[in-house]
Structure 1
Amino acid sequence: MSAAERGEQAPLTGRRGPRPAGQATISRVAEAAGVSRATVSRVMNGSTSVNPELAARVRAAALELDYEPSAAARRLALGLTGTVALVVPDLSNPLFQSVLRGLSRAAGQAGRQLLVAESDEDPEEEVILALEARRNADGLVLASPRATDERLRALGDRLAPLVLVYREVPGLDAPSLSIDNAAGIAQVVTHLTGLGHRHLAYLAGPPGSAGNAERLAALRAIPDLDLTVLPGGSMFEHGHAAAGAVVECGAGAVVGFNDMVASGVLTGLRELGVPVPGRVSVTGFDDIPFARYTTPPLTTVSIPQGELGRRAWERLWSLMNGEDGGYNVRYQPRLLVRGSTGPAPS
């Protein structure tokens, strides 16, 4: 340990003179401040273990020499990658593209790169991808994960710092940004029953989807409702394939798991010659960008997709800096009534 690090004075020159020839290095800063290279490194990396007087001396020397530490070297010293990761079930779904866009922009503004992985709706593949992504990134965002609550709780420590989007897992030490699915379904059903509908068909989402479980439970909890549950999925083709079953079950209105499924059944019903909303009304969930451009425009539940990405970054950034990730947020959705819903047929 040098004399300066023991607290002895090693004052800098009081006047800023010409900069030395050549690029400033950590060795020059250490020499000017009268400390070791390790002390300069700790100060530049934001360590609070350095004596405040010495830290001030190092910062003054760095300013005097116009020293800029290498961002790559700093990340290496701290064991950081400069990357954060996002894992989603399906990148072709515009819902997740909106989250990706919001997260990517916010991370980019902070000088971080974004690593993106898709699990193809497979819970086991999702777990493998999440662990691998976390090993190669400084933090992880899981959007609508399909793994069970128990599995996520068991992996929580290995995935931290972690933020959940479109999902809340009780007992998991990770902040979450979720949607009040029950409130969204209640708005849809209130709208449809107000139009005289009593027999509804629900096109279910993927079996592992927590959002699907919450929406289905909310539908089943509504009294005096004739509900038919039909297998579906999360994509356009799943809704399209279910159009015949919708007609066969005789329901006057369809509640799609999401807008992609609802758009698919709209197309399928049109191909079958079934008028919408004259014979069957159709609703979706999410308000993805092209929901307003379907034929007819889709009645759906709007959620703040872009904001979810930005807020996820804010929480992840706090966790990555050793701070609290903040409180969980459950967003209240808003029903948007468009042309795909109308009075129940007599």
Structure 2
Amino acid sequence: MTRTMPSRRATIADVASHAGVSRATVSRVMNGLSTVEPAIADRVRAAASALSYRPSETARNLSLGRTHTVAVVVPDLGNPMFQAILRGVTRAAAEDGYRVLVGDTQEMTSTEMDAAIEARRRCDALVLCAPRMDDDRLAQVVGATAPLALVNRVIADEGVPQVAMDYGQAIGLIIDHLEGLGHRHLVYLGGPTASASNRLRIAALDSAEERHPELRIDRLTVGAALDDGWASADRVLESDATAVVAYNDLVALGLLSRLRELGVGVPARLSVVGVDDIPYARFSDPTLTTVSVPQDELGAAVWERLHEAMAGGAPRGPLWLEGTLQARESSGPPPR
């Protein structure tokens, strides 16, 4: 019985031999460079067509210094907020033929700078999501990794694409909501001290106290995770506040869990409000009052601006996105 061997895939050397040119000339034509005479370029393309030659995309990208990959570095991939932003970037980038490489610094500020620079070396561009590093280190990263874009960290360099959630506006919505319910003593469970968005929240609290002189807002630094909220319960109860403003939904949900264990009624004894409206917020017991953040839109917007910068487009100023209050079961009037 005669076996038919599969035909060998044509190589760049086959095309060069068929067209009577060097492999370098074939490479330049396949990469769309204009340094080859039109008649020779036509001959190369005809040879490639006759041989059904398909250039290796990987080799082509390497020859052009491109990977069609963008790095996204986040401080905590376990946070659903960052997962949603990553999803938005990934979907938008895929529409333009780009893949995403993900880096998680696990809230380790000391390694964040090196992680960002190393990720950029492997990719065509970089998205830094809520970087925790100080301004000096961030300036070094900006200088070493362009093109890059920033999420939830705004700097003075308007040449850098920047998209951020207006957490000051979000906190304003929460304070007005709680003040309207009759609360006069609140406690804020703050996030990482290196977080720029935490600083925006604290500035908004200061403004709220100026707008509402009758308000007292205590401030505790706890963190950004479920465990941090759970561990804060005793200090919250010792404060005698009637409402809690949590740094994010994870902290709020952790606190709710511990309060339930302690038999503390929410909102009968204590109202609890978060920020971000992560998927779990609608399914907690009680359901969590929070501020909804346009997470997917944030990721898509940062990719749009970064892609423009990669193509040499003129930079635009920072884009600030606003949230919407989602009043649910975890907030109510203070106890009488």
Aligned partners of 1:244 and 1:269 also within 8 Å: no
Q: Distance in 2 between matches of 1:201 and 1:320?
A: 44
Q: 1:198 aligns with which of 161, 164, 184?
A: 184
Q: In structure 2, what is the equivalent of residue 307 of structure 1?
A: 297
Aligned partners of 1:203 and 1:257 also within 8 Å: yes
Q: In structure 1, what is the equivalent of residue 253 of structure 2?
A: 263
Aligned partners of 1:203 and 1:232 also within 8 Å: yes
Q: Does the alignment pair 1:129 with 2:115?
A: yes
Aligned partners of 1:316 and 1:325 also within 8 Å: no
Q: Does the alignment pair 1:252 with 2:245?
A: no
Q: 1:221 aligns with which of 189, 196, 207?
A: 207
What amino acid maps onto 1:157 in structure 2?
G
Aligned partners of 2:273 and 2:288 also within 8 Å: yes
Aligned partners of 2:188 and 2:244 also within 8 Å: yes
Distance 1:50 1:285, change over 3 A: farther
Q: Give deviations 1:135-185, integer Å, cap 9, x for gaps.
A: 222221111110122321222121112111122122263201101111111
| Alpha-carbon distance, 1:113 to partner | 3.7
| Alpha-carbon distance, 1:110 to partner | 4.6
Greater shift, 25-34 or 91-100, is seen at 25-34
Residue 221 of structure 1: SS of its match in structure 2? helix
Name the TM-score, length of structure 1 as normaliser: 0.85
Q: Which has the higher contact order (CA 8 A, sep 6+)?
A: 2
Percent identity, aligned pairs only? 50
Q: In structure 2, what is the equivalent of residue 280 of structure 1?
A: 270
Q: Does the alignment pair 1:343 with 2:325?
A: no
Q: Distance in 1 between matches of 2:44 and 2:332?
A: 71
Q: Give deviations 1:304-340, integer Å, cap 9, x for gaps.
A: 2122233333333343444456553211111111111
| Alpha-carbon distance, 1:109 to partner | 4.9
What amino acid maps onto 1:216 in structure 2?
I
Q: Give deviations 1:279-320, integer Å, cap 9, x for gaps.
A: 111110001111111111111111121222333333333434
Q: Distance in 2 between matches of 1:172 and 1:65?
A: 50
Aligned partners of 1:84 and 1:140 also within 8 Å: yes
Q: In structure 2, what is the equivalent of residue 152 of structure 1?
A: 138
Q: In structure 2, what is the equivalent of residue 47 of structure 1?
A: 33
Distance 1:31 1:326, change over 3 A: farther
Aligned partners of 1:163 and 1:316 also within 8 Å: yes
Q: Distance in 2 between matches of 1:36 and 1:192?
A: 74
Q: Does the alignment pair 1:142 with 2:132?
A: no
Aligned partners of 1:153 and 1:172 also within 8 Å: no
Q: Distance in 2 between matches of 1:42 and 1:326?
A: 34
Runs of at least 5 residues in structure 2 that lack an aligned partner in the other structure: 1-6
Runs of at least 5 residues in structure 1 that lack an aligned partner in the other structure: 1-20
Name the TM-score, length of structure 2 as normaliser: 0.87
| Alpha-carbon distance, 1:214 to partner | 0.3
Aligned partners of 2:188 and 2:246 also within 8 Å: yes
What amino acid maps onto 2:236 in structure 1?
V
Q: Distance in 2 between matches of 1:56 and 1:329?
A: 46
Aligned partners of 1:156 and 1:173 also within 8 Å: no
Distance 1:75 1:245, change over 3 A: same
| Alpha-carbon distance, 1:102 to partner | 2.7
| Alpha-carbon distance, 1:34 to partner | 6.9
Distance 1:220 1:66, change over 3 A: same
Q: In structure 2, what is the equivalent of residue 163 of structure 1?
A: 149
Q: Distance in 2 between matches of 1:40 and 1:318?
A: 30
Aligned partners of 1:103 and 1:310 also within 8 Å: yes
Q: 1:329 aligns with which of 307, 315, 319?
A: 319
Aligned partners of 2:298 and 2:321 also within 8 Å: no
Q: Does the alignment pair 1:102 with 2:92?
A: no
Q: In structure 2, what is the equivalent of residue 234 of structure 1?
A: 224
Q: Distance in 1 between matches of 2:155 and 2:268?
A: 41
What amino acid maps onto 1:297 in structure 2?
T
Q: Give deviations 1:24-44, integer Å, cap 9, x for gaps.
A: 444555567676543432343
Q: In structure 2, what is the equivalent of residue 3 of structure 1?
A: none
